[in-house]
Amino acid sequence: MIVKNIEEALNEQINAEFWSAYFYLSMAMQCADKGLPGAENWFRVQFKEEQEHAEKFINYLLSRGGRVVLQPIAKVKNSWNSLLEMFEDTLKHEQHVTDLINKIYAMALDEKDFATQSMLNWFVDEQVEEEEEARDIIDALKLIGDGYGLYQYDRELATRVFVPLATK
């Protein structure tokens, strides 16, 4: 059985993951409107990954005898001035998610909840990758600017493929 405060924190994280998915879908739709199919693809893959992250938390909570309580998803931003701004917001958001996961991890340490710590290790590693990827794209976008370079980079973003997790 999972302790109440961790159950509540995991439910908040489930909502945060679904919000993240909605946030990235909003970015994908702006990319579609702006004629950036590669970036649209990148954000759609991110959308799917965030949904899977929520499912991973849901499955874990259920496996520990917890109760999943879904909440409404708050409104997300739906307009950006540039692809660079989108990825800067992506980095800020991923840093926020890292902070949320770290807080749950600290709570699990305090509660001596080793199972939750073990499960969260995957998310800690995932967040390092998420932040690094966003920083790399920001660096590239700053170097290439607009025009033909952006067109070429958009084609590179189109190569990202969704790979489902092996979740239980």
Domains of the chain, start order = 4-157 (1.20.1260.10)
- pTM of the shown model: 0.91
Q: Which of 81, 84, 86, 116 is nearest to 102 (CA)?
A: 116
**Tens of pLDDT, residues 17-29:** 999 999 999 999 9
Cβ-contact 41, 160 below 8 angstroms = yes
Alpha-carbon dihedral sign for residues 166, 19, 92, 103: negative
What element of type H or E holds 77? none
* Residue 72 buriedness (CB in 10 A; 0-12 / 13-18 / 19+): exposed
**Tens of pLDDT, residues 106-115:** 999 999 999 9
Average pLDDT of every residue of the chain: 94
**Tens of pLDDT, residues 81-106:** 999 999 999 999 999 999 999 999 99
